[in-house]
Structure 1
Amino acid sequence: MSKHLHIICLDVPWPADYGGAIDMMERIREFHKAGVLIHLHYFSYNERGNPNELNQFCHIIHVYDRVPPSKGFSLKVPYIVSSRINGELITRLNEDNHPILVEGIHCSGILPHINLSSRKVVVRMHNEESLYYRELARAENSLVKKMYFLNESRLLKNYSQHLPDECVYACVTDKDREAFINDYHLPNVELLPTFPAWTQVNSEEGQGSFCLYHGNLSVPENEEAAIWLLCKVFTKVRVHFIIAGKKPSKRLIKAAELCDHTCLVADPSESEMSDLVRKAHINVLPCFNKNSTGIRLKLLHALFEGRHCVVNDPIVAGTHLEDACHISDTANGFASIISQLYYQPFAEEEIRLRTHLLKQYDNTANTRRLMKWLW
């Protein structure tokens, strides 16, 4: 008999062009490959639309509008949760007893309306969201947005204290798993590594001709990292430097224009971005979150497809990938490592090391683990 599964996504998972979407979309692919009939539910609230590409993987698809701030604001429930509590979704879920995969704490507001004593439910925790929103507030320049992020962080911390014990909570890193066990006292917390789009190490040996920073440049923490590299690192080491990503601000574009050895590639396609990662000699990926949570998919992209990778501690904390990276927490340290690596060919032994360390990101094996919690 065929297995049926409800998957509730916080956002449309296609196109898989940012970390959370990649993680969700690759799970959908794997369940489809395993013969599971997917009842996909997702919230559509931005320019991503309702893509037909999802039809080939899903038995049925339901789309819901996210509640606007004027109606979804709550003094007790985080807006990312309250805006996704949908009566139509709850009614559909209660029409059968199929297991449910809830993508993100964002979609967990429906749980009090489900009979959890007779139903298998797994909640995929993409981050420890109260920490994540606190870091968004720290990096944000707009006072209004900063206050919103701080309030969401406060509400998320309180909300997470009251998550139901009956569900399994699947965390991306050991660090996040420990937080949900120790800080929120949840009894069923498991480690389930992120699902990358890359399945084997394709890094090329030899020499590239530039350094690369890539990410969604509209995210404040990514803009902060790019400007730090421009102002603090690549003023000390004058090699070709490319910044690539979505929606760069006028501030970042102007900063890049002032550096004559720097090029900014705005809104590259997926294939263009992959080409840049592969051709770079050094992928430079600092992260300034004081309290790291989740994992950055751009780090995995660089390790699966790129050559040398220079990072700081926050981006690799809890990933067990430290040995595959060159690590420094200062601008002088970054500049020194880049100077040493820039003329050092990328070698076969480093590819072998990455192949070993990245075995934990086996999507098929991790899907089998997830299925044991659902059936």
Structure 2
Amino acid sequence: MSYTPKWVSIGPIHHNRESLWLTKEKKRQFREPFPFLDERDEELRRKMGNWEARVRRCYSEAFQGISSGEFVDMLLTDGCFIVALFCRNYKWSKEGVDATDNPIFSTRWMLPEIGRDLLMIENQLPLFVLKEIFNATKLKPEGTSFEEVALEFFKSFHIGKGAMVIKKHHTEGHHKHLLDLFHSLYLPPKSSDSGAAQKRRKNKKPLMGRTSVRGKNWVPNATVLKSSGVRFYAKEGNSLGIQFRRGTLSIPGISIIESSIIILKNLLAYEQSSRGIEPLFTSLVLFFSSMASVPDDIKLLREASIILHEPGDDQMAIEVLKLLSKQLECDVTDFSMKQQVEDIRAFCGSKKAKFWKPIGRICPARFILLCLSIVLAVTVGRYD
């Protein structure tokens, strides 16, 4: 169910599913009250007809049950709906234009539900189709690109704490579809990429012949890390911006709630579908599943505001991480947190960590009492 839309189908995989609320007619009605396409409407339809074979090749199925005319109509209906939704949202959020004449905007829960549907891996249209429609619409906000209005819509779907900040490099480059564009929100600027990542993105070739690692044990769990002298700090920003320096592990908060889990599952499925895609969230989930293996680990990370979920459900969070990390594979020489993992492991093997480890197993109050007892014994011994 995490990969099946609940409200609106986009593209051919779930085309014309009767159980969805946003039917073909409702999608068309969404753009009726305002001018949308100019005199290039027929020109756009002809272009979509010429692109039909190209678009069909973007999917693994042939969809022989969808005729040529129906396929082109689907591209226009679904594409126009998405563009209208993003443009109206942009004008509403940036320019204060009232959009509450439509139930999608006037109903508080509906926009998030539809947004999650648009980020499902089985619910995508090629981005070049959406950009062509965007360039033909009268509703297009002046001086904006399709990527800008799309990311403005999706920035509140950030899986971490708070909304994502959109920067210039997020709107640049080639993107396959909306899920790929959303995934790019978490990529670092190209100037800070590793050499291997830059080369892969430039050549668009899969990584072959690399050793793969599955599952866990990248780093010790959180309770062991704490007993080794590691301090935990919840930082702001990108969920993937994990840092380790001088014994302090800084991790942005991550939400373990149903809505963010659905988005995370689709991002993981997308990364696992090709070796040419940066395994950002694969690394994140494998890192957390290594660090949080028992409820006490979750409790420690929750109290540090790193894992955000309801108290009392620590075992549930463990089960979620187990489910997410199941059968995930990642190239051990190229995962995005390689340096942090190496630094943490080196710290835990240091003399400092070995000194703190037995001390960390004693609760702070008992440790203080033990120190006071030693001081008292030494003091009394002097007077004796």
Q: TM-score, normalised by structure 1?
A: 0.26
Greater share of residues in strand: 1
- Structure number with the higher helix fraction is 2
TM-score between both structures, scaled by the size of structure 2: 0.25
